[in-house]
């Protein structure tokens, strides 16, 4: 019997270390080459790089952060070389973003950071401090910061540090020409839960709300769409969700869908009456303003940035407390009452939701405000030389 016991875990750790080291060197080399001649590109028209060489189209699966790049790139194309502005979104950062930013700024490039949420104990669990570290460093390097909501700034100030450069709050936008109500409404009480499901309570609360509506004799159904990420695999999440639906006796009234593209999102919203948003402390979910633009009132946890989006007219919120240490899912009984309140004056809520989306969150003013910001940061960088 051998006295030497081979430690396979050490091999795995060594492989991970070598892989990260290779990625680090590759990033450093790439960014030095990317930005080394950018100064000769001159002053004037904003030329943006979004931190990713490839930006998916709207008919491809993508997350909320990437969709902002899709909005901007029609006006400001993605320049993988010779950009004079680096624009990053905190929830879609490239690997080793600090290297990219430092090399860009070393060559006279302006850095604009779009700051979404931060990691904190209730949402992230253990290791939240490590997750915040890159965002904290980027915040210090930024020439301008765009917070996605007032709540985003509250969280960033608390967990990343105060802002020391010019900033503004720009809520996520929606193309209200594309996202619009259907000419015909479906029958019954069609409820939608959508987005990325990072916590099981989102789905559990929604199904429990559906059960209460069915017990109350309502002709209700629930569609759950998006990515399922709280377990190791999406199939595990879906099986867990199916089991819960069976246990609650709502299986026949629940439809489980996967991810969807921006193009598919429009039809998805138009086939429903109400968006149920059960996530606690969500910063600025784009799907909320997209749903409102399609005439869907929002029933939601009155936390995070949701009150800023929905207001008093675009739906009904369930009040809660602000807590960074643990989540407070809205009670299903309160959500069921809110759903019934919306349906008691559905046309009024639907019109108000659409009007609010058009007047406050349309993509065209959002792009115009970005244009003004880009002009400001370019002038500051180049005039300081």
CB-CB contact of 238 with 228 (8 Å): yes
Q: Is the model's pLDDT at 2 over the cut of 50?
A: no
Residue 301: Cβ-neighbour burial (10 angstroms; 0-12, 13-18, 19+): buried
pLDDT number for residue 222 = 98
From first CA to last CA, the distance across the chain in angstroms is 71
Residue ranges, CATH 3.40.50.2000, the chain: 189-361
CATH 3.40.50 for domain 43-173+363-383, yes or no, is yes
CATH 3.40.50.2000 for domain 189-361, yes or no, is yes
Over residues 25-51, the pLDDT tens digits come to 888 888 888 988 665 445 578 999 999
Q: Is 312 helix (H, G, I), strand (E, B) or coil?
A: coil
Over residues 273-326, the pLDDT tens digits come to 999 999 999 999 999 999 999 999 999 999 999 999 999 999 999 999 999 999
CB-CB contact of 220 with 179 (8 Å): no
Residue 18 parent element (H or E)? helix 8-35
Q: How far apart are CA 283 and CA 102, in angstroms?
A: 28
Over residues 179-212, the pLDDT tens digits come to 999 988 889 999 999 999 999 999 999 999 999 9
């Amino acid at each position: 019997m051998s006295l030497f016991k081979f430690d396979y875990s050490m091999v795995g750790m060594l492989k991970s270390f070598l892989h990260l080291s290779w990625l680090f060197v590759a990033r450093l080399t790439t960014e030095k080459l990317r930005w080394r001649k950018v100064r000769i590109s001159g002053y004037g028209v904003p030329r943006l790089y979004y931190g990713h060489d490839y930006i998916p189209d709207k008919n491809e699966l993508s997350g909320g952060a990437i969709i902002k790049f899709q909005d901007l790139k029609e006006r400001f194309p993605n320049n993988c070389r010779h950009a004079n502005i680096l624009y990053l979104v905190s929830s879609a950062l490239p690997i080793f973003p600090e290297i990219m930013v430092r090399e860009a700024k070393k060559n006279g490039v302006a850095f604009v950071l779009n700051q979404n949420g931060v990691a904190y104990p209730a949402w992230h669990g253990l290791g939240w401090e490590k997750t915040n570290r890159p965002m904290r460093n980027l915040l210090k390097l930024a020439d301008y910061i765009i917070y996605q909501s007032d709540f985003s700034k509250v969280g960033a100030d608390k967990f990343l540090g105060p802002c020391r450069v010019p900033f503004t709050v720009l809520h996520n936008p929606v193309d209200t020409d594309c996202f619009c109500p259907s000419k015909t409404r479906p029958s019954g009480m069609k409820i939608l839960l959508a987005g990325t499901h990072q916590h099981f309570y989102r789905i559990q609360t929604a199904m429990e709300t559906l059960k209460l509506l069915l017990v109350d004799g309502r002709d209700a159904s629930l569609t759950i769409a998006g990515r399922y990420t709280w377990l190791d695999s999406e199939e595990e999440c879906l099986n867990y969700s199916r089991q819960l639906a069976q246990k609650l006796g709502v299986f026949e009234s629940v439809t489980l869908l996967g991810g969807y593209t921006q193009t598919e999102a429009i039809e998805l919203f138009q086939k429903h009456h109400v968006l149920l948003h059960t996530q606690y402390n969500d910063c600025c979910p784009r799907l909320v303003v997209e749903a409102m633009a399609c005439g869907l009132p929002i029933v939601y946890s009155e936390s995070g940035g949701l009150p800023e989006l929905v207001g008093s007219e675009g739906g009904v919120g369930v009040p809660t407390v602000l807590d960074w240490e643990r989540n407070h899912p809205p009670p299903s009984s309160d959500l069921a009452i809110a759903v019934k309140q919306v349906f008691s004056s559905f046309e009024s809520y639907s019109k108000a939701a659409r009007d609010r989306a058009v007047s406050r969150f349309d993509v065209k003013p959002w792009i115009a405000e970005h244009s003004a910001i880009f002009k400001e940061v370019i002038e500051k960088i180049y005039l300081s030389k």
